[in-house]
Each structure stands twice: as C-alpha cells, then as structure tokens.
Structure 1
Amino acid sequence: MPIRTTRRAGRLTVALALTLAACTLSAAPADADPRPHPADDAAALPPDDFYVPPAALPEGRPGDVIRSRKVDPGTPTPRALADTWQVMYRSTDALGRPHAVTATVLVPKGGTPASRPIVGWGPGTQGPAFRCTPSRMIAKGALYEQWVINAMLEAGYAVAVPDYEGYRPGPKTTYMVGKSLGPALIDAVRAAQRLPAAGLSADAPVAFRGYSQGGGAALWAGEFKADYAPELNLKGIVAGGVPGNLMEVALPLNGRPGSGFLLYALIGLDHAYPELKFGDVLNDAGRAMVADLEAGGCALEMINKYGNKPLSAYVTRSPLVDAPWVARYTENTLGTESAPGAAAKIEVPVFQYHATQDALVEPNQADALHKAYCAQGVPLTWKTYDTTGRPPISDHLWPIQAANAEAMTYLADRFAGRPAATDC
C-alpha cells in the first residue's frame, strides 16, 4: 500500500485521551480496571529514592542488577497475571559510558520461569518529568500500553520494560537518542535474566518489541545486538511507528500539533551530548519551557501546552544546522551501516509497520528505513495500516492496536522456530 502523508491540526487533548482509553479498554481482559488512567495520575506518587543512582556504580557488566524490589502493578490484570519487580541495572549511555537505568520485570505466575521466552518491550513516549517514568506508571496503573504487556503475559512471555536513561529525581532523559535506547532495552532483558527471584534462563529465547519511541528502541537493540550482546538468544523484532530518521521526523513537527515532541527530542539530544549546548540558544521562554517540562511534563502536557508552537518561539536561533547537532542526529539514524557503533545489519527477522497517515512520525522515512534494511539483507516483513480520516495522535497510535494480533502471531512463530517470511 502506498504511503500518503497529510498534516492536520485538531483538538489533540481529547483525541489523545480518547485514543489512549480506547487502546487500554478494547484489548483489556474483563477483570481490568475500567477507568482510563491519564498521566496526571502519576503526580500522586511520592518521592522515591529507589531511582537515585549510587554515587559510584558497583563493578560489573552491562545488565547486572544493582538493586531490585517486588512491586504490585496498579491495575488488577497484571497483578493477577505476573510477579513483578522493579530493578536498577548497569547499562551504557550514548557516549559509551557505564550508568544506571531502571526497569520493570514481569514474569507470568505459575509454570517454570526458566522455560519462558522473554520480550523486551520498549515503551512509547511518556514525557520528560520523573513522574512520567514508565515503571512508576506501571506501579500506579497509568501506563497507556499496559494492555499490550498484559497480552504478552497471557501468552506466557516474561516482559522486561526499561525506563530508558535519565528517569530519576531531577530527570535528564535522553529522549530519541538511539545510542542510549538500544543498550537500555538490551540490558533490561539481561537484568531480567540475572534477577535471581525471577528465575528466568540466561539461554531463554528473546524478542524485542515496541511502538513509536519504543519501536525505535527495538530496532536500535537489534542493531546493537551483534557487538553489544552476542550471547542473547534473539529470535525476532516487532517495531511499529518507528522514528528512524530524526531530522525527517522533526522538521514536519515544527509549529504543528506534535511540536512538543520536537522540543523534547532537542532536550533529549542535549542531555546525551553535552557539547550541543542547547541552553546557549534558548531564550527566556525556552528556558522556562525546559524547566516546566522536566518539572512535570508528561505526554498530555507536551500536547496541551506545547503543540502548534514553533521552535523559533523558544530559541534565539535554530541550532539544527550546527555541525555538532548534525553529527549527533546523523549517527542516531537507524539503518545506516556506517553509523558509529552500528552492527552491519540486524541478524534476525523483523516485522515493521506504520500508519499511512501519521501526524507524529513521518511515514515516508519509515518506508525508507524498511527499504534500507531490505537492501542490507534483513529478513523483514513490512505492513502499513490505513489511518485515513483519523485525527492527529489517533492516526499515530491506532496501528499499535490494529497490528497487535499479527504482532503476537509473529512473536509466537519466532519463539516456535518457524521460518519467517519476507516481502523484501
């Protein structure tokens, strides 16, 4: 199906709230909490020293557990389905330095944990504030993708959900930085395997899955795997709504409904790469915007307060053509074999999908990415979902629900060792 791109404005707050609630409720088991859980619910969470990294990291390898605790998710279904832990583990940042990341590990109750496959689920955009941390959202019952995790638990898979880099009091998240996302997802799986209480096997079959930011994380993990985690028994990857080329995704967002996501991506790159010095080009409004988002901004605030705002409202000049910025967003482009640290190619089957109309993640760059992977010899299945007529935000989020049955079949086939079809 050819991809067509349109740009539409709309009443995004209502669209997002309804879409998230619809995704949560339509796929949820009958005993799930019937109430939608907007991100604002996470404001009720108290401060938590669990997320404060130690002053000095303990010696160890990427994926080693630093600390852990048993938790109860905030909704009935995952509580009934799984034993759940929060973990802090060693990982690697975008500059190759060791650091600490947190995650949630969910293991289906009953049976033999050591026999269970493990899915590393990359969560989608939550927001820059500490209260938006995915593991805190799971604990509160506010993660809008919880229904996807529940489906994987029901299928008998253990699930590892990273928070990504920088979610802690005084957050410094590195949003959309693939060189950080990939290791964080890989090491969440390693941490799940090395958590003694979970009982999972170091040889368990593994898959990476995610949507939007999380789809990017899944593919980055696939690109890193050969060099960074050769021991993982990786069987396949499912990645939807992937922002593979940051510049091609960012430019259409400027001044449009998703402009808050552009602003957040610039903040994320700046946290990952200190030489970018985003603060040097921020005006007073820009400094206030960064402080506001990091103090309390989750996805709804990014849309409510910063949608349809041009970058020029927050900077004295655009930094995007400066050589340091160009170098960093170029090396964080998926599918470029010459990118520093990238593997020659993804070595396992990939199911990649995207909306035909997507106001947040430009469809044509995703199409280009799947073609690049095909040219590299990746065994890839590509599918588009027609979202013509859906409002902004809904047009981006709908495919995660539309593709879920196929995604689950794809995972089952990979874990069963069935050969993967390719339409390259």
Structure 2
Amino acid sequence: MHRNTARTLVAAVVTAMALTVAPAATAAAATPAAATASDPFYTYGGSEPLSSFAPGAVLKTRTLQYHVVGLPTPVKAIQLLYRTVDAQGRPAANVTTVVRSLTGDGSKAVSYQSFYDSLDPQDGPSRAIAGNLSLGGVIANVEAVFLAPLLLQGYNVVIPDTEGQNADFAAGPEYAANTLDSIRAATASAATGMNADTRFGLMGYSGGSIATNWAAALAPGYAPEVNRKLVGFAEGGLLVDPAHNLKYADGSLVWSGVIPMALIGVSRSYGIDLEPYLSDYGLKVYRELQQGSIVDALGHYPGLTWKKMAKPQYADPNSVPAFLEAVNRINLGSAPTPTVPGYIAQGNGGVLEGTFGNPPGVGTGDGVMVAGDVRALARQYCATGNGSIAYQQYDLLSHVGAAVAWAPSAMSWLADRFAGRTAPSDCGRIPAGNSLAPEKPAPTS
C-alpha cells in the first residue's frame, strides 16, 4: 500500500473517531444489547477438548473491516480465537486482533495492550473493532489515536483482549497469559504475515500497562520463545501494589469507583468471595458494578471509601483474609524481573488528600496510580539484574495528561529498540519509592 494512501486511510480512521465518539457513546448507553453479544466466533465448539491444544494455538480465524465507533473503515483486521489460560491456570479461549503492516513487512510488530478497563466482556477491543457499540467500549475506539502512528511506521499491530472472556479486570497474571498467547497465535497464523522470527515490542498505558508489565515479567517462564523475540516493553500509568492504590484512591471524587471494580475483577478471577465482608451499601455498589466499566465508575461514586463499603469490624482491609490473598497475588513487586529493556513513565501531578500520611494538596501519584510504587518497581528491576530500565516521571501531569506525553516517547523508545540501538538506563538515578512487600494481616485486638 502506498504511504500517502496509508496516511489518508489512517487520517480517515481518526477523523471518524473524533466526529462520532460522543453520539456513539450516547447510542451505546441507550442500546446496550450489542450486535456482537452472541457472536459465535468467541466460542470454541470443537470436538477436541480445549486442554488438548497448546497455549497460543489458533482455533478460529476471520477477516473483517476495522470499525471505529461502529463505522467500518477500509482497514482490514484479522481476528484469531486462540487457546490460553485464565488466572487459575485453566484452559480458556480468547480473541486477539491483528492489523497487518501497511508496508507488508512481517519482521516487526507491536503488541498493544488496551486500557479498556471493564468488567463487561462486551467492552473488549476485539468487539469494538468488529463493530460492537457499548459505552465501555468507547475507550478501545479512542485508542485508534495510538494505533495510527504505529501503522504509519510500518509495524504489524496486535491487540489482545487482555482481560479474557470473563473480563477479569486487574488480574495481572491472566493479562500476561492472554498477551503472550496472543503473540504465539499471531505468529502461528498464516493469515497475519508474521512468523516465529517476527520481533515484538510490548506497549500499554494504565490498564494496558498491567498487561504489558506482567507479560514482560512472566514471559521468561511462561513463554520463553516469545521472550526471545521481545525487543522491550514501554508502559505508563502503572498499577504496581493494589493495596497501596486502594489507600491512595480512597475517598477520591473521581477515581474511587475503581476500588470496587478491582475488588470485583480479582475476586471473580480467583474465585474469592468478598460479599460476607461488605456492608449493605458496599454490597449495593459491588453488585451495581458487576458488568461495569471505567466509564461507569469514574466520578459516579465520589468520596467512596473502603470503610463505607465494609462492615464495621472490617474497617481495616487487611483484616479481610480474602482481600489480602487477592492483592498479594497481583502485586508486581512479587513478580519476576523482566529480562528485556523497559521504558516506564509515570505522572505525579494528581492531588488527593491524606494519602500515605501526606498533608492535603501533596501529589503522591497521578490521581490513581502511586508514583512511589512505580519508582520502587523500577529500582527493584535495576537491583535484580535488569540494567536497561528507563524511568520518566511527569511531576505536573495527572493520569490522563501523562498518557498524552507518554505515547510519543514510548513509540520513539520502541523504534530505537527495533533499530538495535543500546537501551538507555536510569538505574542509579531513580529516586526512592515505597516498600512493595506483601500486605500482612491487621493486628488483632
């Protein structure tokens, strides 16, 4: 495809998104029953048990037009149903989307992990790309802004549904399996133009950074052949220690709705029952958000705190064994160190009151993610043998603002890795952060 044609094509995608995102969101809210809700492509119905296939095996393939807020574009997308595992290691089927390089180059690809952040499987990026309209799916449509430059730079772009088909929000190890097995599937399929020699970069922000970092951390053990072809990972707005994030976002006017979302996602993925510990109000919120998305949560529960959600005897979340089990399972500080170079960016311009003992008005993160945790993780990687960690902190930017600054830097950093340039390192210059030790039970009186 001629480069000018490609530019025109991608410009049309972005323009369509910009012009239609607001009415599409309204339409989605009014008609939540999506056209792809019962799409048989998402179901494996073969005669062989799913467990008989290797992780990453392609189960189904289809080609369709890439949709932006429900409108078809000239861009072709290949979707693969593939075998993977859920958070508990059980065989599962999941979907990924591949947009082939506009130049026909099959040697390089970016696995882009979406920040669609939802508890509703209908909000996954593959469904949005297939034409599904849902309120939570608007996020995956907006991300066309990030995908367009990657296509113009000649990359193949792979977009996994990182949360799986149960939408297990915040379950980092499951995100990793879905991402790594998506790469396996994309390079095994004859339809994608890629193969076992295709090199990959990982890229994701916010919820997408959960998948990106966990995939980089678990790749050496879970998918060593994928790890060997990774050039690096670029991420921003990272969730590291969810117990710290709960304390940080507790009482926020905007971000506090993420607290019950994360509790639902992790309890769902690991089969943990949190309901016995919740107050009547907590149960109400917990049940309201069972299929909620980040769009449903942001600003809808202003001032929500753990204490409001919990029964009085569980005012300290560390007094809840199920909570401790959940947050310790998804603490990146306990995960292995990635063996490939990393670029990690984090905003520090968010303002929340009283967090981590700080006085009102002191920014300790970007409003939802804790900057001290991210610095601590980067320093941990440096101390445990990965000397190719670049860290950038945006002291004046919040979570949303930092994403705008992060994206071009992440793409430039990845381009250098594909070009074979030596990865820069900030090891030795990263300021100290918080302890990432596992949470301990609250003392009994």
TM-score normalized by structure 1? Answer: 0.81
Structure 2 counterparts to residues 210-359 of structure 1, below 5 A: 210-232=204-226, 233-256=229-252, 257-274=254-271, 276-295=272-291, 297-316=292-311, 317=314, 320-336=318-334, 342-343=335-336, 345-357=337-349, 358-359=366-367
Amino acid at match of 1:265: A
- Indicate the residue corresponding to 1:397 in structure 2: 400
State the 1:408 CA deviation: 1.4
State the 1:331 CA deviation: 3.1
Long gaps (5+) in structure 1: 1-27, 337-341, 389-394
From the superposition, tell whether residues 413 and 110 of structure 1 become closer, same or farther in structure 2 (CA, over 3 Å): closer
Matched, 1:101 2:94: yes
State the 1:413 CA deviation: 1.1
State the 1:214 CA deviation: 1.0
From the superposition, tell whether residues 363 and 125 of structure 1 become closer, same or farther in structure 2 (CA, over 3 Å): farther
Matched, 1:411 2:414: yes
Contact 1:121 / 1:185 at 8 angstroms: preserved in 2?
Answer: no
From the superposition, tell whether residues 325 and 285 of structure 1 become closer, same or farther in structure 2 (CA, over 3 Å): closer
- Indicate the residue corresponding to 2:184 in structure 1: 190
* C-alpha separation in 2, matches of 1:247 and 1:403: 25
Partner-residue secondary structure (3-state), 2:19: coil
Contact 1:88 / 1:101 at 8 angstroms: preserved in 2?
Answer: yes
Partner-residue secondary structure (3-state), 1:108: coil
TM-score normalized by structure 2? Answer: 0.78
State the 1:325 CA deviation: 2.8
Cα displacement string for residues 40-93 of structure 1 (whole angstroms, at most 9, x for unaligned residues): 5543622223334549526211111222322222239x9767431222211122
Contact 1:125 / 1:212 at 8 angstroms: preserved in 2?
Answer: no
Cα displacement string for residues 298-336 of structure 1 (whole angstroms, at most 9, x for unaligned residues): 222111423432233333345543334323322321143
Partner-residue secondary structure (3-state), 2:412: helix
Partner-residue secondary structure (3-state), 2:230: strand
- Pick from 399, 419, 423 the counterpart of residue 420 of structure 1: 423
* C-alpha separation in 1, matches of 2:401 and 2:371: 14
Amino acid at match of 1:397: V
* C-alpha separation in 2, matches of 1:314 and 1:120: 37
Matched, 1:387 2:371: no
From the superposition, tell whether residues 207 and 72 of structure 1 become closer, same or farther in structure 2 (CA, over 3 Å): same
Contact 1:118 / 1:189 at 8 angstroms: preserved in 2?
Answer: no
* C-alpha separation in 2, matches of 1:193 and 1:377: 29
* C-alpha separation in 2, matches of 1:271 and 1:96: 14
Amino acid at match of 1:59: S
From the superposition, tell whether residues 251 and 349 of structure 1 become closer, same or farther in structure 2 (CA, over 3 Å): same
Amino acid at match of 1:173: A
Partner-residue secondary structure (3-state), 1:418: coil
From the superposition, tell whether residues 307 and 202 of structure 1 become closer, same or farther in structure 2 (CA, over 3 Å): farther
* C-alpha separation in 1, matches of 2:183 and 2:169: 20
Partner-residue secondary structure (3-state), 2:372: helix
* C-alpha separation in 2, matches of 1:260 and 1:177: 17
Partner-residue secondary structure (3-state), 1:231: helix
Contact 1:194 / 1:202 at 8 angstroms: preserved in 2?
Answer: yes
State the 1:288 CA deviation: 3.8
- Indicate the residue corresponding to 1:9 in structure 2: none
Amino acid at match of 2:381: Y
Cα displacement string for residues 101-155 of structure 1 (whole angstroms, at most 9, x for unaligned residues): 222221124524x33x121111114321233222223334832222111211111
More deviation in 205-214 or 66-75? 66-75
* C-alpha separation in 2, matches of 1:321 and 1:261: 21
Amino acid at match of 1:118: A
Structure 2 counterparts to residues 371-386 of structure 1, below 5 A: 371-378=379-386, 379-386=388-395
Long gaps (5+) in structure 2: 1-9, 350-365, 428-445
Partner-residue secondary structure (3-state), 2:130: helix
* C-alpha separation in 2, matches of 1:285 and 1:71: 44
From the superposition, tell whether residues 183 and 166 of structure 1 become closer, same or farther in structure 2 (CA, over 3 Å): closer
From the superposition, tell whether residues 320 and 93 of structure 1 become closer, same or farther in structure 2 (CA, over 3 Å): farther
* C-alpha separation in 2, matches of 1:157 and 1:57: 31
Between the two proteins, the alignment pairs up a number of residues equal to 377
Identity, in percent, stands at: 29
- Indicate the residue corresponding to 1:120 in structure 2: 111
- Which of the pair has the greater relative contact order for Cα pairs under 8 Å at 6+ separation? 1
- Pick from 38, 47, 72 the counterpart of residue 48 of structure 1: 38
State the 1:225 CA deviation: 0.9
Structure 2 counterparts to residues 84-163 of structure 1, below 5 A: 84-112=77-105, 114-115=106-107, 117-140=108-131, 142=138, 143=140, 144-163=142-161
- Pick from 207, 212, 215 the counterpart of residue 201 of structure 2: 207
Amino acid at match of 2:104: G
* C-alpha separation in 2, matches of 1:30 and 1:133: 22
- Pick from 54, 57, 60 the counterpart of residue 50 of structure 2: 57
Amino acid at match of 1:246: P
* C-alpha separation in 2, matches of 1:288 and 1:88: 35
- Indicate the residue corresponding to 2:162 in structure 1: 164
Amino acid at match of 2:416: D
Contact 1:82 / 1:109 at 8 angstroms: preserved in 2?
Answer: no
Larger Rg: 2
